[in-house]
Structure 1
Amino acid sequence: MRWSQMHIPTLREDPTEADAPSHRLLLRAGYIRQLMAGHYSLLPLAVRVRSKIIDVIREEMNRIGSQEFSLPALHPAEIWRRSGRWDIMGEEMFRLRDRRGADLALGMTHEEIFTTLALELNSYRDLPQMWYQFQTKFRDEPRPKAGLMRTREFTMKDSYSFDLAPEGLDRSFDLHHEAYVRIFSRLGISAIPVEASSGSMGGAASTEFMFPSAVGEDFVVHCAACEYAANTEKATARLEPSTDDEGLAVPERFDTPGVRTIDDLAVRFGAPGDRQVKTLVFVLDDQLTLVLLRGDHVLSEQKLADATGATTLRPAHADEIRAALGASPGSLGAVGVTDLPILADEALRGRRNMFTGANIDDVHLRGVDVDRHISVGTWADLREVAAGEPCVRCGQPLQVQRAIEVGHIFKLGYKYSDALDATVLDPTGARTRVIMGSYGIGVERAMAAIIEGHHDDRGIVWPMPVAPFHVAVVVAQSDNTTVAEAGEQIYQQLLAERVEVIIDDRAERAGVKFRDVELVGIPLRITVGKRTLADGVVEFTDRASGQTDRIPLDQVVEHVRKAVDLAR
């Protein structure tokens, strides 16, 4: 490929609208252009990188015996209604109607659609099956951001496993786990497998692959001592034993004028946050519910949804709260409440001599014994883990760091086979449900994550396996016939050796060409100039290290070939 003929619209300045390094560099280096919020055109360089990412993923999927499909992106509503997710997905699902008035959706994911194909599996002899595809997904993100990191339209590798029994699912899950470890290693993404919530996907277990990054939107809890790792929606920490004094036989009221927060009560009335019972009011599937946490802890709404199985969840409105409890937030409590469900975080179990609201404005209670004075219906782990808390496994301090989710694998179980009646004949001749798994990687997000981990102040530094070209031949003086012919000869020799090469033959200054090659991130650069040619050599520069060597002309192709092979 010739730079003079290829569309690479590099920019001299950083785009003002870009914040994350990957977003800034993809725009500046001429890889993408925004059409509208959350929708990007991939330009020729990005198409080449995307294709290489897909090739790596495809090779590893094929390696574990998965088979490639291509399914429609437009789905009938009926299938989603049968699984129960037509309503659960809410406003993030793009919905439309055809000319006949039929409800349709642009696919966010393909569990339902792949399961309809699995209806043709008839016998246990047809199992196990692992199927995958690369398909465009659509999600109406309320706040698309960070370029390709969070978009409304993106390519997903989604794969699905179908097995006869749980032990078969375990094997399919483990195969995908191993494949994902190899994929991210080959892509140059240092991903950490972490425990995660299954969320709206359903299922018994899931693992996210998280890439630590300052621009990540997720948080990972990690123990350096024992390598425990989990998403904050799933992470737990060891609870230190409480040493509370005896509570009162009957909680005592005391006036707290103007107290509206945990800190207010702590500062003005000597009630530390860890001695307070915080009362939150949520509506779970239309049921007003009290949620109790220790005052210094933060609720994880995903943990609340997982603990209750609620498909819809929202904080209650002020008028709903006052109608049910007779007070405003800041004075709420669960003592004496018997007509509403009460969920409590495990950190409150057995706590005594606590403080909480009295359900009277500007009045609180002291001396509360949680077990005796509050009718807790359900105990669960509901809180977010904080940095420094002891690891649940080894007791060492936990770390919390930002991360980018680059992959997610789920043990779906029977959710979709039940909903869509996916069964096979077992060895006894009886009908039995198939058990499923689901496994995803966002292709463009992976591209952005690679850049987040591989860039410097001059631009992108692509790892060799995904670089748009392996090497750039830079003709330093394109108006010099001898230099131009030498550059062309090297270019043709590399093409003959099947090296992915681009020649910068533009009528530009050498400095402009060097800056563009560095910005675009091509791993190797051969500079052909009149001074070095006079000595029978060219300059060979490694983008990652910045090292430049002088290579004899007759050794250039061999030198490049070895460098490419070594970096793959």
Structure 2
Amino acid sequence: MRLSRSFLPTLKENPAEAQITSHRLMLRAGLIRQTAAGIYAWLPAGLRVLRNIADIVREEQDAVGAQELLMPTLQSAELWKRSGRYDAYGPEMLRIRDRHERDMLYGPTNEEMITDLFGQIIKSYKELPQVLYHIQWKFRDEVRPRFGVMRGREFYMKDAYSFDLDHDSSVDTYRRMMLAYLRTFQRLGVRAIPMRADTGPIGGELSHEFLILAPTGESGVFFDSALEEQDWLGEDVDIHDRGSLEKFFTGMTSFYAATDEMHDAEAWAKVPAERQREGRGIEVGHIFNFGRKYTESMDITVSGPDGAPLYPEMGSYGIGVSRLVAAIIEASHDEGGIIWPETVAPFRAVIINLKSGDSTCDALCEKLYAAAPEHFLYDDRAERAGAKFADADLMGHPWQLIVGPRGAKEGKVEIKNRRTGERTEATPEDALALVMKTQG
């Protein structure tokens, strides 16, 4: 993308309505614009980040055998009345009526719909297990939307739902999903710590939420530093072996980790003082194992091994894709702007032409840009160098390829690493190899 022709409106000043860092930087870097309270349009650069995150989430879900489908945003209220949640959910649910006076709702979650779909199609225990997911827009009518996409009313989310024959099998699926989540967050370039959580209105007894550590997090967190120090993603975890999954899960959950809502002072006191860590965290994922809560309430059965009907065991697994964009920024920025992990950045690098109109500079920049136009943002604007550098730091590109008259004459490109600030010179070929070799 050429910056002179892009729909990428950067701002020099902090918007007055933005209260936290990620909201300020997403507006200033031209990622989003608000269209109504708690509702945002995603501009081209922001949409690229959103898609990069969704693609990684999708790949890790596929890797553990989940199957992607797509459910509609509008749902019939009848499904929720069957489960008993229509009246219980609260005012966050946006309830509407169509022209035939049928009660509808804008889906805040999809347990009812997926359970109904499952019941229409799966009839025998021989067809279990099933894990189904989609990545879809959802809506919750927050009474006070704030913090940009961190707590907006419309949000983009991956939710998966599992159906298993019995409790032990459903716990295997739960553990498999926990591993998939840890691998997902690792690929996204963030550390998200799983913490035992309250099941809330979803229901069930087994639940963990994943929190990214950041000073602006809404939740207070208490955890054993061993959770950060150990590698929980070793290749020895076999997702198809119950014993391997149990060993992984037991090890992961043996260390203390809790939000302020679930904090147990007595258990916390048993953690060695030198390993106690406290801070703030942003919830970016939540997984639940809730048994037969929905299959029973909606009377969804399959024929069991003896021919008798049985209620499958269920779980649900959510990742806030749009919230992750903000959470990553909260955890990875400096005074200059965003510092994107390479796997999610909207562009691999920005090419900064320090003297647009100079034939040598222009030719070298065009050569670099032609090598991978889908991965590069070319700052070809007739702007002063300081403004280009400031925008490059603000937008957070992992690499900056800087072309000036002196270097261009010598066939050299200056390379800046956004995260470390390190600068080096290289040939165009070596610069391209460096930038592209770490492609996520």
Structure 1 length as normaliser, TM-score? Answer: 0.70
Residue in structure 2 matching 1:457, options 331, 335, 344: 335
Alignment partner, residue 484 of structure 1: 362
Partner amino acid, structure 2, of 1:218: S
Residue in structure 1 matching 2:347, options 441, 466, 469: 469
Alignment partner, residue 190 of structure 1: 191
Question: How big is the shift at 1:392?
Answer: 6.3
Alignment partner, residue 215 of structure 2: 214
The reply on whether 1:517 has 2:392 as its aligned counterpart is yes
- Are the aligned partners of 2:73 and 2:137 in contact in 1 as well (CA < 8 Å)? yes
Partner amino acid, structure 2, of 1:506: R
Partner amino acid, structure 1, of 2:268: C
Measure, in 2, the Cα distance between the counterparts of 1:401 and 1:207. 18
Mapping for residues 73-472 of structure 1, pairs under 5 Å: 73-119=73-119, 120-224=121-225, 227-238=255-266, 391=268, 394=271, 400-472=278-350
Partner amino acid, structure 1, of 2:365: G
Structure 1: 5+ residue stretches without partners? 239-389
Measure, in 1, the Cα distance between the counterparts of 2:397 and 2:304. 54
Measure, in 1, the Cα distance between the counterparts of 2:11 and 2:272. 50
Partner amino acid, structure 2, of 1:473: I
Measure, in 2, the Cα distance between the counterparts of 1:402 and 1:204. 25
Partner amino acid, structure 2, of 1:533: A
Alignment partner, residue 44 of structure 2: 44
Residue deviations 1:73-120 (CA, integer Å, cap 9, x gap): 111111111111111111110001111111111100000000001102
Alignment partner, residue 10 of structure 2: 10
Question: How big is the shift at 1:448?
Answer: 0.6
- Are the aligned partners of 1:217 and 1:402 in contact in 2 as well (CA < 8 Å)? yes
Measure, in 2, the Cα distance between the counterparts of 1:223 and 1:514. 40
Alignment partner, residue 59 of structure 2: 59
Alignment partner, residue 243 of structure 2: none
Partner amino acid, structure 2, of 1:141: E
Residue deviations 1:492-520 (CA, integer Å, cap 9, x gap): 1234xxx6112111111122111111111
What secondary structure is seen at the aligned counterpart in 2 of 1:544?
coil
- Are the aligned partners of 2:360 and 2:409 in contact in 1 as well (CA < 8 Å)? no
Question: How big is the shift at 1:25?
Answer: 0.3
Measure, in 1, the Cα distance between the counterparts of 2:387 and 2:361. 17
Cα gap change, 1:145/1:469 in structure 2, threshold over 3 Å: closer, same or farther? Answer: same
What secondary structure is seen at the aligned counterpart in 2 of 1:85?
coil
Partner amino acid, structure 2, of 1:177: M
Cα gap change, 1:435/1:22 in structure 2, threshold over 3 Å: closer, same or farther? Answer: same
Alignment partner, residue 35 of structure 1: 35
- Are the aligned partners of 1:169 and 1:411 in contact in 2 as well (CA < 8 Å)? yes
Question: How big is the shift at 1:419?
Answer: 1.0
Residue in structure 2 matching 1:534, options 409, 412, 416: 409
Question: How big is the shift at 1:561?
Answer: 2.8
Measure, in 1, the Cα distance between the counterparts of 2:356 and 2:278. 53
Measure, in 2, the Cα distance between the counterparts of 1:554 and 1:186. 27
Measure, in 2, the Cα distance between the counterparts of 1:401 and 1:460. 22
Structure 2 length as normaliser, TM-score? Answer: 0.90
Cα gap change, 1:221/1:88 in structure 2, threshold over 3 Å: closer, same or farther? Answer: farther
Partner amino acid, structure 1, of 2:334: D
Alignment partner, residue 250 of structure 2: none
Partner amino acid, structure 2, of 1:184: F
Cα gap change, 1:540/1:224 in structure 2, threshold over 3 Å: closer, same or farther? Answer: closer
Cα gap change, 1:425/1:527 in structure 2, threshold over 3 Å: closer, same or farther? Answer: same
Same amino acid, percent of matched pairs: 45
Partner amino acid, structure 1, of 2:123: N
Larger-gyration structure (1/2): 1
- Are the aligned partners of 1:189 and 1:449 in contact in 2 as well (CA < 8 Å)? no
Residue deviations 1:519-568 (CA, integer Å, cap 9, x gap): 11111111111111222211111111111111124433233333x34xx3
Residue deviations 1:168-211 (CA, integer Å, cap 9, x gap): 10111011100000011111221110000000000111000011
Structure 2: 5+ residue stretches without partners? 227-253
Measure, in 2, the Cα distance between the counterparts of 1:224 and 1:460. 27
Alignment partner, residue 272 of structure 1: none
Question: How big is the shift at 1:396?
Answer: 5.3
Measure, in 1, the Cα distance between the counterparts of 2:292 and 2:262. 22
RMSD over aligned CA atoms reads 1.6
Measure, in 2, the Cα distance between the counterparts of 1:224 and 1:556. 38
- Are the aligned partners of 2:400 and 2:417 in contact in 1 as well (CA < 8 Å)? yes
Partner amino acid, structure 1, of 2:432: V
Alignment partner, residue 245 of structure 2: none
Measure, in 1, the Cα distance between the counterparts of 2:346 and 2:377. 9
Question: How big is the shift at 1:222?
Answer: 2.4
- Are the aligned partners of 1:228 and 1:393 in contact in 2 as well (CA < 8 Å)? no
Cα gap change, 1:553/1:443 in structure 2, threshold over 3 Å: closer, same or farther? Answer: closer
Partner amino acid, structure 2, of 1:158: D
What secondary structure is seen at the aligned counterpart in 1 of 2:126?
helix
Measure, in 2, the Cα distance between the counterparts of 1:219 and 1:199. 18
Question: How big is the shift at 1:67?
Answer: 0.3
- Are the aligned partners of 1:49 and 1:468 in contact in 2 as well (CA < 8 Å)? yes
- Are the aligned partners of 1:223 and 1:396 in contact in 2 as well (CA < 8 Å)? no
Partner amino acid, structure 1, of 2:367: Q
Measure, in 2, the Cα distance between the counterparts of 1:150 and 1:100. 33
